[in-house]
Structure 1
């Protein structure tokens, strides 16, 4: 007769059979899913016949199978896509309470791995072949829609994984979909509201005189090549410093930019470079874009226009664009930013975790 060791016994006192029996009693499920986005940053979700909520591609890890192999297998079985997955975004401990599973399921808890499926272009998307009888539809959706389309636990996990991908700090450790060490993106709730959407063409030249300037924004570059991004404290929405011209600005866009940067971010900048403008073909408006070296951040203060104190972070220009939905024209604007950065003698920033700037800071280039 084999006896199961008690919890106060040390493992060194166990036989292999006893130790194996104890670990088997603590066994949990294992699962794997894959987070895939399109070039606009929308997330791929599946509609399946056996659930009324959407899912990321994925499923159970089979006996003797690794989570990465399971993720690749599920992509092939569900979408007809052959690819390896070798980058983790999150590992989630899913408790019995967090899963809200039926008692008849006898759910013991699960360790669920979320892998990065990358950003898919039109050719990859066109190659999707949903599995008949299981996958009823596949669509790419705005991240902010995930809570309405997915179950609460799946939505939390997907958004946490997406924030971890943007933040570039390595895989996030989650408990019931929430990070145990939240980043600034998690604390601000970034992506829980719809991203700013402006699919407007970007023009490198000056705006035509007949267009009214309705917005002036700045790409303010720190000494390491990252840019200042503001996060709304109540919605998590992201924006670049800048705003709308006012009468005291005397139609001078640089006066508008300086005033708005001071009011929104308590920031100052050096000699700016004009990048270009965006225009709406259906409206006589222009939105101007500048780049400038960020020289100083004062103590954070409330924006007099909104009463809110923005969360200030440094992000690479590429990370900043992931917080917006600017469509294909964003590539032209990004190229102009990097050309200006080079002219300003500022290095290109390596992808790295976003840095929150809560205090007054002097920024100088060496």
Structure 2
């Protein structure tokens, strides 16, 4: 894990404690043709997460998830099926809203994952929905369980 990412993260959290920003994020339950889910492990954390990130000023959530999938797992042809839910998080002293999309990898052969940003993404892998890594983040595991149950979610992250 890159120590400089941890230092930058600690500095950002200190600023957030003072400024308490309102942010909007996006993540994707990205599935391949075999119904495996894409998860990423960032260089600055030990857990596995759904791919995604922040929405930039002037950017729609749909454009943001397309950009994030390209930036994190080099997936440029995913099709958005629906919104799984919208969640609220007050972690890290932010007022964060996260939109979770359900998306499918593109055409056969177009579902190869690769780390697009080597500075940010340590690993990117497909996992069977019933065989998630033990180090999957708790919120990620909850979103996957909601997807598997056919539920739409909202509320706390």
Q: How does the TM-score come out when normalised to structure 1?
A: 0.34
Q: Identify the residue that residue 28 of structure 2 maps to in structure 1.
A: 34
Question: Among residues 49, 67, 82, which one is paired with 2:43 in the alignment?
Answer: 49
Per-residue displacement from partner, 1:136-186 (whole Å, max 9, x unpaired)?
Answer: 22111122344733221221023213433xx7xxxx232235xxxxxxxxx
* Aligned position for 2:123: 137
State whether residues 52 and 69 of structure 2, in contact with CA within 8 Å, keep that contact through their aligned partners in structure 1.
Answer: yes
1:283-341 superposed Cα distances (whole Å, 9 cap, x missing partner):
xxxxxxxxxxxxxxxxxxxxxxxxxxxxxxxxxxxxxxxxxxxxxxxxxxxxxxxxxxx
In the alignment, does 2:156 pair up with 1:176? Answer: yes
Q: Is the 8 A contact 2:81 2:104 kept in 1?
A: no
Report the number of matched residues. Answer: 138
Q: Which has the higher strand share?
A: 2
Would the alpha carbon gap of residues 126 and 49 (structure 1) be closer, same or farther in structure 2, given more than 3 Å must change?
same
CA radius of gyration, larger in:
1
State the alpha-carbon separation in 1 of the partners of residues 54 and 148 from structure 2: 21
Q: 2:65 & 2:156 partners in 1: Cα distance?
A: 20
Aligned runs of 1:80-119 on 2, under 5 Å? Answer: 80-83=74-77, 85-96=79-90, 101=91, 105-108=92-95, 110-119=96-105
Which residue of the partner structure matches residue 68 of structure 2? 74
Kept after mapping to 2: 8 A contact 1:89/1:116: yes
On the 8 A contact 1:85/1:117 being kept in 2, the answer is yes
Could you tell me how far apart the structure 2 residues matched to 1:148 and 1:176 are? Answer: 22
Q: Is the 8 A contact 1:45 1:55 kept in 2?
A: yes
CA distance 1:121–1:130, change in 2 (3 Å): same
Unaligned runs of 5+ in 1: 1-25, 178-366
Q: Following the alignment from structure 1 to structure 2, what is the Cα–Cα distance between the partners of residues 89 and 174?
A: 11
Tell me, which stretches of 5 or more residues in structure 2 are unaligned? 1-19
Per-residue CA shift, 1:189-233, capped at 9, x if unaligned?
A: xxxxxxxxxxxxxxxxxxxxxxxxxxxxxxxxxxxxxxxxxxxxx
Q: Distance in 1 between matches of 2:117 and 2:86?
A: 26
**Matched position secondary structure for 1:126:** coil
Shift of 1:128: 3.6
Decide whether the 8 Å contact of 2:25 with 2:53 is kept in 1.
Answer: yes
Give how far 1:95 is off: 3.4
The structure-2 alpha-carbon separation of the partners of 1:148 and 1:121, relative to structure 1 and needing over 3 Å to count, comes to farther
Q: Deviations over 1:29-75 (max 9, x none)?
A: 21111112233322110121111101111001111211111000101
Residue aligned with 1:157, SS: helix
Is the alpha carbon distance of 1:92 and 1:48 closer, same or farther for their aligned partners in structure 2, counting shifts above 3 Å? same
Q: Deviations over 1:93-115 (max 9, x none)?
A: 2232xxxx3xxx4222x221111
